[in-house]
Amino acid sequence: MKNINNNIIRPVDITDEQVYLKRRHFLQLAGIAGAGLAFSGLPSRAEAELKPLQTSPSKYSTDQTPNSYQDISTYNNYYEFGLDKDDPVRYAKSLITDPWTVKISGECDKPGDYNLEDILKPHPLEERIYRLRCVEAWSMVIPWVGFPLGDLLKRFQPNSNANYVSFKTLNDSTQMPGVRRRVLRWPYHEGLTMAEAMNPLAIIAVGLYGKTLPNQNGAPLRLVVPWKYGFKSIKSIVEISFSKKQPDTSWGRSAPREYGFYANVNPEVDHPRWSQARERVIGTGLFAAKQPTLMFNGYGDEVAHLYSDLNLRKNF
């Protein structure tokens, strides 16, 4: 599985959804896993330990039925904890989320180190039921709890040179066993244009299903950008930086032919190794029919204007 020439695992080597689901199906038939393949017994922040959050409903929510808590908390991409979808729920128990500090830097008037309480205190929380789309042809419907990213960024007073905002994930091999492997150049980086970041659909999520985020889902702070592929929704954020020039992103550096900066859901542009035209909702079963993928993941009315001057085949 490993590229022995440079000790880096290529994107093609990472287990995709079909391989993973077939493995789960085999385990189920063999009686190794229980009905529904519940991983609730695996060590992590137990659901009972997650604190309830006071929220209000959001006008931006989809009317689709959310996935189960089990689907959302046991099928995750979080390579800092491993490559398999169930590695995060197995190993994220090691992540310490309190205390937590976020560094604000770059083209803004209020840089500094802010603790988690300072980040959260002024922001009322909403529950937003969003669809999240992965490049591996699957999707989820998730009841996030969070607040608009733009409201947070305004507090740091980005200046006229701030065209982009970038984010960085915690990089700690003592807590995150996956970073001991050179899957990517750690720490994980992502970025948005300021126009994207200020769109009211983009949120900082601090919870799901009315409770604080489980570690495997990106505690204590993660980005959610529902019209983009899931890898843009960076987890466990420790730094936010404003810049004049477009920032590097982790997958953009690792596989630029496959993961562009914009990463908008566009069913008309295939991933080099699979079609993006259809998707399967996680939890519906290996043999469930796929559904058509929607442009901008169904959020075109709210975000299409951001890209009116872009060629969405070239700027993918």
Domain containing residue 158: CATH number: 3.90.420.10
Q: Look at residue 258 and tell me if it is in a domain.
A: yes
Q: Look at residue 71 and tell me if it is in a domain.
A: yes
Q: Look at residue 314 and tell me if it is in a domain.
A: no
Tokens encoding 153: 């960024």
Q: Look at residue 312 and tell me if it is in a domain.
A: no
Tens-digit pLDDT string for the chain (316 aa): 333 334 444 444 444 544 444 444 433 333 333 333 334 444 445 566 899 999 999 999 999 999 999 999 999 999 999 999 999 999 999 899 999 999 999 999 999 999 999 999 999 999 999 999 999 899 999 999 999 999 999 999 999 999 999 999 999 999 999 999 999 999 999 999 999 999 999 999 999 999 999 999 999 999 999 999 999 999 999 999 999 999 999 999 999 999 999 999 999 999 999 999 999 999 888 888 999 999 999 999 999 999 999 999 999 9
Q: Which residues, in sequence order, are CB contacts of 157 under 8 Å at separation 6+?
A: 108, 109, 110
Domain count across the chain: 1
Q: Look at residue 3 and tell me if it is in a domain.
A: no
Q: Look at residue 107 and tell me if it is in a domain.
A: yes
Give Cα 51 distance to the centre of its chain.
21
Query: Which residue type, as a one-letter code, is found at position 138?
Result: W
Q: Is 159 helix (H, G, I), strand (E, B) or coil?
A: coil
Q: Look at residue 117 and tell me if it is in a domain.
A: yes
Q: Look at residue 187 and tell me if it is in a domain.
A: yes
Domain that holds residue 238: 11-306
